[in-house]
Structure 1
Amino acid sequence: MVDVDVDVAAFERDGYLKISQPELRGAAEAARAQLWRRLGVSPDDPSSWTEPVVWTSDMTGSGPFAELTGSAPLARVLDALCGTGGWQPRGALGNIPVRFPVRPSADDRGWHIDMNTPLPDGGWAISGRPHTLLLLTLLSDVGPDDAPTRIRRGSHRDVAAALDEVPVDFIAAGELVDRVSAARPVVAATGSAGDMYVVHPFTVHAADEHRGSTPRFMAQTPVVLTAPLRPGGPSVPARVWSGDGS
């Protein structure tokens, strides 16, 4: 049964859903403090910020990271979108790109969707039968100038109509999804530390350059589904996952 407090219609329409979680601000700040120590640079010394983007990760899922991955509002949203038992709880936040206000910006801001389909050889590709959706977790406050992830609202419908079950590689898929979704409006994934975005696996998104002054910390995490999605998959309204009704 779908949770009536979760705006499934907005996810259906836009291809993403924001979860505001002021109660997790402290956990996000504690996680960020750990990441600063791991990076070996100072939050108070901009001269130590020498690269526009540095990748770190959480693979342990302990301490404040466990508090974030165990978010009760997140579980409610995923149950409403994927069906109870339709997703696998995360043990860690995974990859965390940290974007610094350093020029020139990194050349990594192309429009794309994430790899979502496992291959027999252990690699990953993109297909119309995704096994994952995307979770973005803000570990710092992110305003419009702080390199927010850009999202093409409603682009999941264009991509659903363009992909089939045959896997394609990341580069080829990027060219395709960029082309078919180019007319969609762009929104920025802004918010406060502790907020999350649940993103449809077909929603086209991209990084942005940092025009602000405060480094941006955000985790990007695949949420593995218990069965690959198909239009009208189990416990999910057909219009949420298919290309119908655009």
Structure 2
Amino acid sequence: MTETLDIEAFMSDGYLKLEQVVPREVGDEARQLLWRQLGLSPQDPDGWSEPVRWAVDPDGAGPFRELLTSPALAAALDRICGVGGWLPRGTLGNIPVRFPVPPTEDDRGWHIDANTPLPDGSWTVTGRPHTMLLLTLLSDVGPHDAPTRIRVGSHRDVARALGPDPVDFAEMGALVDRVSAGRDVAYATGAPGDMYLLHPFTAHAADVHRGTTPRFMAQSPVMLTSPLNPASSSPLGCVWED
């Protein structure tokens, strides 16, 4: 990745696309490992019987390590979170694979991810997040291939709606949807090796798969070294500016 980071766009839109953080061959290799983990094949569509299957990066090794340790990713996180403001991940974590078969349930509601740990080890949503979101494309994703939908600029709407207290998960989706409903929608499309960084308050949602090729994409929380708050001087703190 050689382009200049558009931090102003991140602050305005609530997300930033990083193209070819690693060569696409690295993403291709990771995808082949995940096919084997799932026990499925790209050459055998008859085996694609579920709309979503969950894979996982088991150990952060091989192509997964190349993705996680990319200098381009580190440079982008340094610019957005501040140097020393984020913690490196050991694995990509959970990787939902969306197949071009009819959905059996609606898991495509607008939301933000759990962002605050509780003393019992569970997670909740608050307006003082401990994480931001990293999306890693491991397959070609076009507009029909179930790209993650992103409400542009919605991080500002959500920031105004949340405070330091936890929000019940049953209410969170409806709240996020309501306050950000008027925003334009962007789509997380791209090639293997592309990544998206989302502000922790940016509303996003899955989409129906209307294409023909399964979509592989990791969704990984990046831990901040301290909770985000209105005093933050990093680009993440832009949501509290007038």
Whether the TM-score (by the shorter chain) exceeds 0.5 is yes
**Kindly, what percent of the aligned residue pairs are identical?**
64
Contact 1:232 1:238 in 2 (8 A): no
Report the Cα offset of residue 239 of structure 1.
5.4
Match of 1:225 in 2: 224
SS at match of 1:47: helix
1:236 aligned onto 2:234:
yes
Name the residue aligned to 1:74: 73
Which residue identity does 1:35 align to in structure 2?
L
Distance, in Å, in 2 between the alignment partners of 1:239 and 1:48 is 46
Shift of 1:171: 2.3
Matched residues in 2 for 1:81 and 1:104: separation?
36
Compute the displacement of 1:224 (Å): 0.2
* Cα deviation 1:175-200 (Å, max 9, x = unaligned): 11110000000010000110000000
| Distance in 1 of aligned mates of 2:120 and 2:156 | 29
CA distance in 1, matches of 2:152, 2:62: 34
2:13 maps to 14
More moved, 131-140 vs 106-115:
106-115
State how many pairs are aligned: 240
Gaps (5+ residues) in structure 1?
none
3-state SS, counterpart of residue 109 of structure 1: coil
CA shift at 1:86, angstroms? 0.2
Verify the 8 A CA contact 1:22 1:192 in the aligned structure 2: no
TM-score with structure 2 length normalisation? 0.96
Which structure 2 residue ranges, 5 or more long, are not aligned?
none
4+ long deviations beyond 3 Å = none
Q: Which residue of 1 aligns with 2:168?
A: 169
Question: Structure 2 vs 1, CA of residues 115 and 126 (structure 1 numbering), >3 Å: closer, same or farther?
Answer: same
Alignment check: 8 A CA contact 2:100 2:212 kept: yes
Corresponding residue of 1:214: 213
Partner residue, 2:112: 113
User: In structure 2, the residue corresponding to 1:65 is in which secondary structure?
Assistant: helix
Partner of 2:86: 87
Paired AA for residue 69 in structure 1: L
**1:1-246 counterparts in 2 under 5 A?**
5-21=4-20, 23-104=22-103, 106-233=105-232, 235-237=233-235, 240-242=238-240, 244-245=241-242
In the TM superposition, residue 23 of structure 1 has moved relative to its aligned partner by 4.0
Shift of 1:39: 0.3
Tell whether the 8 Å contact from 1:150 to 1:189 is kept in structure 2 after alignment.
yes
